[in-house]
Chains A and B, each alone.
Chain A
Amino acid sequence: MSDTLIDIRGLEKSFGLLKAVNGISFAVRRGEVLGFLGPNGAGKSTTMKMITGYLSPSAGTAFVAGFDIGRDRLAAQRAIGYLPEGAPSYGDMTPRGYLRFIAEVRGLKADAALWAIDRAVERADLAAVLDQPIETLSKGFKRRVGLAQAILHDPPILILDEPTDGLDPNQKHAVRQLIVSMAASKSIIISTHILEEVEAVCSRALIIDRGRVVADGTPEQLMARSPHHNAVTVVVGAATRSPLAEALQALPEVDRVEVEDAGETRVRLTAVPAGERAPIDAVSDLIKRDGFPVQGLYVESGRLDEVFRTLTSLDTGGHTDQSKAAAS
């Protein structure tokens, strides 16, 4: 099998007059964890629903593990594990019963099914609640039941719609580690609102806005598009604020200086570079030469939220509600 497990070409989806997805193309290789970033209603979930065969595209195709999802839906779906938005599951079943049902549908036979269930339960950390009705579980456990369902048959492709939504920080960390540990042998797509999650687990990120891909690259590449990429930040006491700000501004390598309070007596001065390179040498020379009392000094790699805000439109409120209504 080729190493490209997901190949999306010109995918479009319209709900009536609304174009929720408007020509999205990308490919995901084995070993990649692709992050979908974008405002609510940007088309992330709709794209995932099309890749998993829940919705059929209005135009374009999705090849999953080499199968055209439109023509060979069942074959493609066998290769996918999918956690839908909100992690729906049958409330009257227990996690054990639910996973048994999924195993049976997936065609896992007696021993293989038991083994697969054990592995999924261990990975999703569900052992404590295995025999309680799902409707009585906390939001975090419900999400992990959905996750266990998705990874049960150890599929080569995982599509996870907001896998860490509703989890506490420890659980988030555990789920991220789980994703990273499975990444080598799979193609994984996750959608998230949490920008730090992209840095933590994704080898590549797509920023999607109004049904289009507006940026595609590694988290580092995306952060390099931030105006603060390679900026040098100096933390000093309040008294040093004005003289240092003026001195920094005078450096030819520095475009402008941003001043931000950091607590009651401390100030953060950020020197945004005039060129590509970080002006770290010039700034540290300046500090040494003039003997400024500095408490901290570092180079910024860029701010993903800034890139996100620049690339995506602010107001997609109405957009969201319509696509949700049409998809429900």
Chain B
Amino acid sequence: MREMTAILKRELAGYFATPQSYVFIVIFLFATGVFTFNLGGFFESGQADLRPFFNWHPWLYLFLVPAISMRLWAEERKTGTLEVLMSLPIPVWSMVLGKFLGAWIFAGVALALTFPIWITVNYLGDPDNGVIFASYVGSLLMAGAYLAIGSCLSAVTSNQVIAFVVSVTVCFLFLAAGLPLVLDFFSGYAPSGFVQAIAGLSFLAHFTSIMDGVIRLRDILFFATLIFVWLSATAVLIDYRRQG
């Protein structure tokens, strides 16, 4: 626990000490603005809700979250600091959780900084703030799932570019698992139960369901399980490095 806190603090300090983090936050805020107002038709819809804002999150995260997670382990492997960490008396889980939570809190800060849009919609109309809160929670959970995937794939390589590209690809598969693009690949031959199971992995479906304003246990469990599984895989991979 103590070790985890130490790592978490170091990671957070690292995020806010480097310019790329501020670049990330600015681009994230700018992109959410462009998507919401220009592409999402926030004003044209004439409705006081934040759907045009949240609708784009799965797609924005697809590229921005791997940009956070790609360095988690790949950078430490490249610079050799992973050897320092792994020869310190730190349980593997503390390392994995500390790094993940650091990245998640950073993503949460970026997400929280979109609050002006929430103020705007309350100024302009009378939105259902319960739905908006649920959507924020759902968005944060989804970011966590993307980060967990990215963390695992960053542990496979010492090359951040490879970590980024592979993470985007795997995240896309999860994002689009419910879309015909992915399902058609299986539906020709696989049993329908399997195809449904694949569809059930869709980030889009679970996030949309949360955006409807109901935080269902099912959707929370989905993202929580996904985070747990990918972080476990990260821990296994990091520990496996001791084999050389």
Binding site for B on A (CB under 8 A): 13, 15, 49, 52-56, 73-75, 77-78, 80, 82, 84-86, 88-93, 97, 101-102, 104-107, 149, 326-328
Contacts and interface: CB of A to CB of B under 8 A. Distances in A.
B207 to A, nearest CB: 34
B81 A105 contact: no
Interface stretch (B13-21, B208-216, B223-231): B13-21
B81 A88 contact: yes
A93 B10 CA distance: 9
Given A78-B89, A91-B79, A106-B88, A56 B7 contact: no
Contact of B83 (A54, A106, A107): A54
Contacts of A107: 2
B113 interface: no
24 contacts: A49-B83, A53-B242, A55-B243, A56-B242, A74-B90, A75-B89, A77-B89, A78-B89, A84-B87, A85-B80, A88-B80, A88-B81, A88-B83, A90-B10, A91-B79, A92-B17, A93-B13, A97-B13, A104-B5, A105-B6, A105-B88, A105-B90, A106-B89, A328-B158
Nearest to A18: B244
Contacts of B3: 105
A55 B14 contact: no
Contact of B87 (A13, A77, A89, A106): A77
Contacts of B89: 73-75, 77-78, 105-106
Contacts of B79: 88, 90-91
A93 B5 CA distance: 17
B83 A89 contact: no
Contacts of B243: 55-56
Nearest to B4: A105
B244 A15 contact: yes
Interface string B1-38: 01101110110011001100000000000000000000
Interface in B142-165: 158
A102 B17 CA distance: 18
Nearest to B17: A92
Contacts of B244: 13, 15, 55, 326-327
B86 interface: yes
Contacts of A327: 244
Contacts of A105: 2-3, 6-7, 88-90
A324 B242 CA distance: 14
Given A56-B242, A105-B7, A92 B14 contact: yes
Contacts of A56: 242-243
B80 A86 contact: yes
A39 B166 CA distance: 39
Given A13-B244, A55-B242, A89 B84 contact: yes
A149 B3 CA distance: 16
Contacts of B17: 92-93
Contacts of B2: 104-105, 107
B6 A82 contact: no
B193 to A, nearest CB: 41
A74 B87 CA distance: 9
B91 interface: yes
Contacts of A80: 87
Contacts of B13: 93, 97
A84 B86 CA distance: 11
A313 to B, nearest CB: 23
A116 to B, nearest CB: 15
A323 to B, nearest CB: 9
B69 to A, nearest CB: 18
Given A84-B83, A88-B79, A102-B88, 12 more contacts: A54-B87, A74-B90, A82-B84, A82-B87, A84-B87, A92-B14, A92-B18, A93-B17, A104-B2, A104-B5, A105-B3, A107-B2
A326 B86 CA distance: 16
A89 B233 CA distance: 26
A84 B80 contact: yes
Contacts of A90: 10, 14, 79, 81
A249 to B, nearest CB: 55
A86 to B, nearest CB: 6
A89 B81 contact: yes
A251 B111 CA distance: 90
A93 B9 CA distance: 12
Contacts of B158: 328
